[in-house]
Amino acid sequence: MTTPLVLDPAEAAARLPELTVVDVRTPGEHAAGHLPGALNIPLDRIRTALPELRRAAERGELLLVCASGARSDTARKLLAEADVPAASLAGGTGAWAGEGRELHRPVACDTRARWSMERQVRLTAGAAVLLGLLLALFVHPAFQILSAGIAGGLVVSAVTDTCGMAALLGRLPHNRPRPADLAATLAALRSG
């Protein structure tokens, strides 16, 4: 069967047993709730995992998942450039849960932050805007540029459906997979 570019949640649910599901969100987002059986390979690690993903695609179809579908579509395009067929889940885990499907939430013994990337971006953007306004009020009016820059970045983010701040926050230690976790995920992909 030819891999479609996008599967809606109903199609994905019907085909879930035959798909290799790869969640491209951060480990904290993945741990907060993911599709049953989803393996976690953050978007910025997709190229590192390319050999294992290629082998998995040869055994069956890949379904890439994120919160809204934007990151998984980016991952799908990266894989397509490497001739690895994959589909993206339309609307991501938000659409999946929105249709009443359960997200797997393992019992966590991991104490890392479980904030979604969207929540981390809102906190960071809000804190930067507030800091810019306070510095402009108490130090020098030129600090208004900080608040204006964040506002402009949010507009660009909405128009382009990308988020530079999320990319930066994704590099923080609490959003990174532990080397052992990533190695175990890649081993699981190798073994099928």
Query: Same structural domain for residues 78 and 140?
Result: no
Residues 6+ apart with CB under 8 A from 123: 115
User: Which of 43-47, 80-84, 164-168 is predicted most confidently?
Assistant: 80-84
pLDDT in tens, 85-139: 999 999 999 999 999 999 988 654 454 446 778 888 999 999 999 999 999 999 9
Structural contact between residues 162 and 70, judged by C-beta atoms closer than 8 angstroms = yes
Please report the pLDDT score of residue 111 as a whole number: 44
- pLDDT of 189 higher than 50: yes
List alpha helices for the chain, DSSP H.
Answer: 9-15, 27-32, 50-59, 70-81, 92-98, 117-138, 144-160, 164-169, 179-191
Please report the pLDDT score of residue 31 as a whole number: 84
3-state secondary structure of 64: strand
* Average pLDDT score over the chain: 88
C-alpha pair distances (Å), 156 with each of 93, 152, 153, 160: 24, 6, 5, 6
- Structural domain contains residue 27: yes
**Which pTM value belongs to this model?**
0.73
- Structural domain contains residue 106: yes
**Rounded to whole angstroms, how far apart are CA atoms 175 and 121?**
12
CATH number reported for the structural domain that contains residue 54 in this entry = 3.40.250.10
What percentage of residues in the chain have a pLDDT greater than 90?
64
Query: Same structural domain for residues 53 and 133?
Result: no
pLDDT band for position 84 (50/70/90)? very high
Domain span at residue 68?
6-112+178-191
Structural contact between residues 34 and 103, judged by C-beta atoms closer than 8 angstroms = yes
Pick the more confident residue, 40 or 116. 40
C-alpha pair distances (Å), 88 with each of 67, 130, 144: 11, 36, 40
Query: Same structural domain for residues 65 and 124?
Result: no
